[in-house]
Amino acid sequence: MLGWPLIVLRIVALLVSLILAVGAYYVFALFTRHNPAPPLFLRTVGAIAGLRLRVKGTLPGRGETAIFLSNHMSWLDIPALAGVSGCAFVAHDGLSVFPPLRRLCEMNDTVFIARHDRRSVAQQAKQVRDALDETGCLTLFPEGTTSDGRGLLPFKSSLLSPLESDLAHVAIHPVWLDYGPQPEKVAWVGDEPGLGNALRILARWRPIPVTIHVLPALTRAERTSRKSIAQAARSHIAAVSGGVE
């Protein structure tokens, strides 16, 4: 039985990686705005957890900017996407109340969204532009929570409010994260505690394959409002994932 020994080994590896990444972050910060430490750390987290990444579609090239609108199943989505694209993320502001976690998120240029505070939309839009300037790529999870991977939850257009600013030059790509025929084995849903889910993932000895489908960018006609963006992105993901609705 590999369970607990494997968990302990992986936790030690994660802690060592975190210490090295934080040190590297501050060293790189002396020389460059585009700090490679956070995406490298997140890619390492994915590898330690057992992720085996494959990309279908075209990732943004050097000098290009893009926004990803992705389905959301697990905390593994973050190291998967950051590992292949170096993207930053949009997260709800509840994650920012714990100072150490907030600092780690800020190192990766996370944009915190106050979902029910419309007064902060202008500030959030500026944060989106700043994050794109820093990383070139930003990911949002419009479902607003995780699903079991068997279907798509409604895309909440309110989460896309910062995209209504002057971002016409930025490509918006729907992204489908495909964990294979049994996504429920990695999904974090329902009443399962976060720690319990993490331990369940870290106890797995089998690799976790995930295919990241980067779909074509939305057309100008599909980007007339945040509601049209949400509807179009969800429709494209539903089509490529086998029509899950």
> pLDDT at position 93, please?
75
Q: How far apart are CA 125 and CA 123, in angstroms?
A: 5
Six token digits for residue 109: 């240029």
- 234-243 mean pLDDT: 88
Judged against a pLDDT cut of 90, whether residue 198 lies above it is answered with yes
Q: Which long-range contacts (CB under 8 A, 24 or more apart) does 33-39 make?
A: 33/134, 34/134, 34/135, 35/107, 36/86, 37/107, 38/82, 38/107, 38/108, 38/109, 39/82, 39/83, 39/85, 39/86, 39/87, 39/108, 39/135
Residue 63's pLDDT band, with cuts at 50, 70 and 90, is: confident
The 3-class SS string of 86-103 reads CCEEEEEHHHHHCHHHHH
Judged against a pLDDT cut of 50, whether residue 114 lies above it is answered with yes
Judged against a pLDDT cut of 90, whether residue 9 lies above it is answered with yes
Please state, for a pLDDT cut of 70, what percent of the chain lies above it.
93
Q: How far apart are CA 132 and CA 163, in angstroms?
A: 12
Six token digits for residue 94: 């509840």
Judged against a pLDDT cut of 50, whether residue 133 lies above it is answered with yes
Q: What is the pLDDT of residues 18-38, one digit of tens each?
A: 999 999 999 999 998 889 999
What are the start-end ranges of the E strands in 98-151?
111-113, 137-140
Judged against a pLDDT cut of 60, whether residue 8 lies above it is answered with yes
Q: How far apart are CA 224 and CA 235, in angstroms?
A: 16
- 56-85 mean pLDDT: 93
Judged against a pLDDT cut of 50, whether residue 211 lies above it is answered with yes
Judged against a pLDDT cut of 60, whether residue 229 lies above it is answered with yes
Residue 2's pLDDT band, with cuts at 50, 70 and 90, is: low
Residue 1's pLDDT band, with cuts at 50, 70 and 90, is: very low
Q: Structure pTM?
A: 0.90
Judged against a pLDDT cut of 70, whether residue 117 lies above it is answered with no
Judged against a pLDDT cut of 90, whether residue 234 lies above it is answered with yes
> pLDDT at position 25, please?
96
> pLDDT at position 243, please?
54
Residue 121's pLDDT band, with cuts at 50, 70 and 90, is: low
Please state, for a pLDDT cut of 90, what percent of the chain lies above it.
56
> pLDDT at position 118, please?
56
> pLDDT at position 120, please?
64
DSSP code at position 154: P
